[in-house]
Amino acid sequence: MAYMRRVEYGLKDTSRSVTVPADPAAKLMYYLDSMCTVLKLDDNSDINELRQFRNYSYLTHSDRNVLMHLCLLLKPDILLNKCIFQNDALCGNMANKFYDLEAVRNNLLVAGSVVIGGRTRQVTKIMTFKMSWLQANWSSPMQVLAARQEQERLQILRRQQTGQSCAIL
């Protein structure tokens, strides 16, 4: 790990303003997109499709399961204080911000690399966030989507059982 001393100049904000649809799947897709931005996980076309949060309505039940699994692999507890930091001051008037790592000089202990799914990823960016961002884009959507997925799973099972019963008769 590299320790960066406090210097109040030279921060390079690389954030972009986005509007995320008010749907739990879209919120998790945005969370995934944010973590992929920080960790440079853009080398997998399947993951890249799940990052397109504006296209959330096209996700299948299976896609949403994969999305949830990926978000659990990249959960905040694993990345906190390594490449994502809860820091209201660095967020300013936004809920989250991205910074180029080489530009950050604000008393942050930053990991040089992070192991995700058995692969080492170099940390080249960091993201700062307010707790409200984490609640809106990870915690709450994960709970809502998990419940929704379970309801859909049960409906699929009921349909399959009904279809099997009819086939037997």
Gap between the Cα atoms of 19 and 146, Å rounded: 23
Residue 11 has what pLDDT? 61
User: Rounded CA gap, 28 and 67, in Å?
Assistant: 7
For the chain, the domain total comes to: 1
Measuring CA to CA, which residue among 124, 101, 106, 102 is closest to residue 114?
124
Domain extent, residue 150, equals 2-168
Rounded-to-5 percentages of helix, strand, coil across the chain: 55, 15, 30
Q: How many Å apart are CA 125 and CA 110, to the nearest integer?
A: 10
126 within 8 A of 81, measured Cβ to Cβ = no
Kindly tell me the number of DSSP H helices and DSSP E strands found in the chain: 7, 7
CA distances from 50 to 33, 43, 46, 85 (A): 8, 13, 7, 24
pTM tops 0.85: no
The phi, psi pair for 6, rounded to 5°, reads -75, 120
CA 37 to chain centre: 9
pLDDT for 79: 93
Regions of the chain with pLDDT less than 50: 6-10, 103-105, 165-169
pLDDT at 30: 98
How high is the pLDDT of residue 41? 84
